[in-house]
Structure 1
Amino acid sequence: MLKKPAITTITSAGEEPVAAEWRRWEGMNPEILALIFKRMSVEEMMSRVPRVCKGWNEVVAGPYCWSEVDLVRWCRGRSESGEVDRVVKKLVRRSKFMVQRLAACRMGQSSFFFAAHCGDFLKVLQMPMADITDQMLIKHMKPLPNLKVLDVSHCLKITSKGLASFGHQCKSLVHLKRNMPPLDTGLLAADDSEATTIAHTMPHLQHLELCFGRFSDSGLSEILEKCKALTYLDIQGSWNVELNGDLGEMCERIQYYRNPWVGCEGEFSDSSGCNDADLTDSD
C-alpha cells in the first residue's frame, strides 16, 4: 500500500526530532486525491486507479474527478459513436451531471443528451465530428446559460438550424469553432445560411473559426456587423469570400485575422506582431 512519507517535526533546541505518523494515501481528502488523479489520462483513471484500493476506487467513481472530461486522445482509436457514447454517459453520470468541460469526438445522440443535461455547470463543449443531426439538437437541446466555448467542427449533419439551437440556448457563448473539411470537388455555390445564423444568434462572439465555410461576402458582412466583440477571426479556405468594397479593411482591423487564401503554414494578420506561435487557445 502506498503511504505518504514520514514528516519530521521541528522541535526546540536540544530535543530529538520526532517523525509524524505515516498517513495512508487512501485516507486523504477525496477532493485532494481528485486533483492528483486529474493529472493522469482518462484510461489510467478508469482502469488502473480503481484497482489500487477501495478508497481510490470510490474517489474515481464519484464526481470529484470528472468536472473536466477530455476524451479527445482516447477517441482517436475509435470510429463508432456507440463506444464513445457509452464512455461519455458513464463519466457524466459519475460527475452527477456537473461536468464543466466535455471534449469528445464522434459523439452521438445519447451522449449529447447527457451533455445537454449538465445545464448551468457546462462551460466548454468540444464535439468535433459528432454524429448528430439538426433534429437531434432541436429535440434534446436544453438551456446552457454558462457555455462559453463550443466546437462543432466537421459535424457534417449539423446545418444552420442546429447552430440556431445553440445560439438560442447558449447566451454566454464567446468562442465558436465551426471548421469544415477542405472542399475536394472545387468551389461550391455560396450558402450564407450558417453565417447569418451565427450573426443573429451569437452576437457576443470574440473568437470565431469558420475555415472552409461556404459563406460569401454577404454572410461575412453580417457577422462583422452583429459580432462587434470579435478579436479572432479565421476564414481560411472560405473560397466564396472575395472581400469586395471595404470588407477586407474591416477584417484587417480584427486583432487576429486569417484571410481565405492564406496557406496552411501562413501567419495571422496581427497589428501587434503576434503570430500563430504566440497565440494561446482559450479552450
Structure 2
Amino acid sequence: MESSRKVVVDDEEEQRNWLDLPRDVMCTVFQKLDAVEILTRAERVCSAWRSVSKDPLLWRTIHMPDSGDSDFQLWVLCRRAIDLSSGHLLSIYIENFATDDLLRYITLNASHLRCLRLACCYRISDEGLYEVAERLPQLEELDISLSSGITKDSLEAIGRCCPHLKSLKFNMEGYRRPHVESNEEAYAIAETMPNLCHLQLFGNKLTNEGLLAILDGCPHLESLDLRQCFNVTLVGGLGKRCAEQIKDLRLPYDPTDDYPFEAEIDYGSFDEDYPSGISDIDFMSDDDYDYYYEFSGESDFSDYEYENYYDL
C-alpha cells in the first residue's frame, strides 16, 4: 500500500515540476523541435505550452524539413511561424515547398534575416532571389541546394546587394554524361562575393579556369567543397595553390558520407570517354606524379578511382 502511494506521489511531483519549469527552460526544450512539430503538436498540449509557442524569441530560427504534409499546409504553417517571430527571425530552413511567393513573404516580414537555406525547392526562380537580394542586404549565409531554375544572374544580384555574405552553398546533382563545362556561376561568385569564407559547389560544372577565378576573387576563403565537380583537376600549380590557400578543401572524388542529399552517381567506363585509351594522366610529368601523392596524402590511388580522377 505504501509502495503504491509513493508511486502516485512521485508521478504527481514529476508532473508538477514539469509544468512549473521556468519559461526560459521551456523555450530551450521547444527549440529542439522543428516548426511543424511545435505548430501541430506541442502548442496543443496545454495552455502553458501554447503560451510558450507564441514567444517571438522562440522563432528566431525556423526549421521546416519536408514532413510529408501537403505543400499548402506547410506554406500556411511557415507563414504562421514567420508571423510569430514578430520581426526577430534570423535563420530559416525550408525543404521542398518554397516558392517565389513564399520568399517574398519572408523578405517582407524578416528584414533582419541572416541565414536562408533552401533545399530541393524546384519552384523558386531568379525572380524570387532578386527580392532576397534587394530586401535582405544583411544576409550572411545562403544555401541553395538541388533547386533548379537558378542562374548566374541571381548569384550576381546576391553578391552585389549582400556585401556581408560569408557562406554560400550552391549545390547541384553531380553527373558525368553528357560532358558539360560551364564557368558562369563560378565567375559570378568570383566577381561579386569577395568576402566569402565558406563555399560549397557540390556537382558544379566549373573547370580549372572557374576555380582559379574563385581563388583570385575570394581571398578570404577558408573552406571549399568541390565534391563531384568532375571538370576540375587539382594537380600541378593549381592543386598546390588550393592546398596553400584553403584550410578545409574537399576534392572531387572525396567521400560523400556527410552530404545530406543523394550523391550516388554512375561514373561510366574509362574507355567511353577516351576511346583512344589516352587521358590526362598520359601528359603528367614526373613532378606532377610526385606532387599528387604529396597533395592527396597517399602513396597510391587507393582513395580515388585511378581511371576516373583524370577522366575528364
TM-score of the superposed pair, with normalisation by structure 2: 0.69
Q: State how far apart, in whole Å, the 2-side matches of 1:147 and 1:244 are.
A: 35
For 1:35, give the aligned amino acid. Answer: T
Give CA deviations for 1:127-153 in whole Å, capped at 9, x if unaligned. Answer: 122221112322564332332221101
1:56 partner SS: helix
Q: Which structure 1 residue ranges, 4+ long, deviate > 6 Å from structure 2?
A: none
Which residue, out of 194, 217, 221, partners 2:208?
217
Coordinate RMSD, CA, aligned: 2.8
Aligned residues: 245
State the identity %: 25
Q: State how far apart, in whole Å, the 1-side matches of 2:296 and 2:137 are.
A: 32
Note if 1:206 corresponds to 2:197: yes
Cα displacement (A) at 1:62: 4.0
Q: State how far apart, in whole Å, the 2-side matches of 1:174 and 1:241 are.
A: 23
Give CA deviations for 1:77-107 in whole Å, capped at 9, x if unaligned. Answer: 35x6544432221211111132111011121
- Alignment-derived partner of residue 93 in structure 2: 103
CA gap 1:179/1:44 in 2 versus in 1, 3 angstroms = closer
Unaligned runs of 5+ in 2: 1-11, 259-294, 298-312
Unaligned runs of 5+ in 1: 6-23, 272-283
Q: State how far apart, in whole Å, the 2-side matches of 1:118 and 1:90 are.
A: 11
For 2:77, give the aligned amino acid. Answer: V
TM-score of the superposed pair, with normalisation by structure 1: 0.76
Structure 2 counterparts to residues 1-283 of structure 1, below 5 A: 2-4=15-17, 25=20, 29=23, 31-72=24-65, 75-77=66-68, 81-106=71-96, 107-130=98-121, 131-139=123-131, 141-183=133-175, 185-188=177-180, 190-243=181-234, 246-253=237-244, 254-264=246-256
Native 8 Å contact 1:81 1:108 kept in 2: no
Give CA deviations for 1:48-88 in whole Å, capped at 9, x if unaligned. Answer: 3322333432331342321111112xx1535x654443222
Q: State how far apart, in whole Å, the 1-side matches of 2:71 and 2:37 are.
A: 22
Native 8 Å contact 2:227 2:251 kept in 1: yes
Give CA deviations for 1:160-198 in whole Å, capped at 9, x if unaligned. Answer: 01112221222211111111112263321x211100111
The range that moved more, 240-249 or 130-139, is 240-249
Q: State how far apart, in whole Å, the 1-side matches of 2:253 and 2:131 are.
A: 38
Native 8 Å contact 1:104 1:126 kept in 2: yes
Structure 1 or 2: larger helix share? 2
Q: State how far apart, in whole Å, the 1-side matches of 2:161 and 2:51 are.
A: 35
Give CA deviations for 1:33-52 in whole Å, capped at 9, x if unaligned. Answer: 32332223434321333223
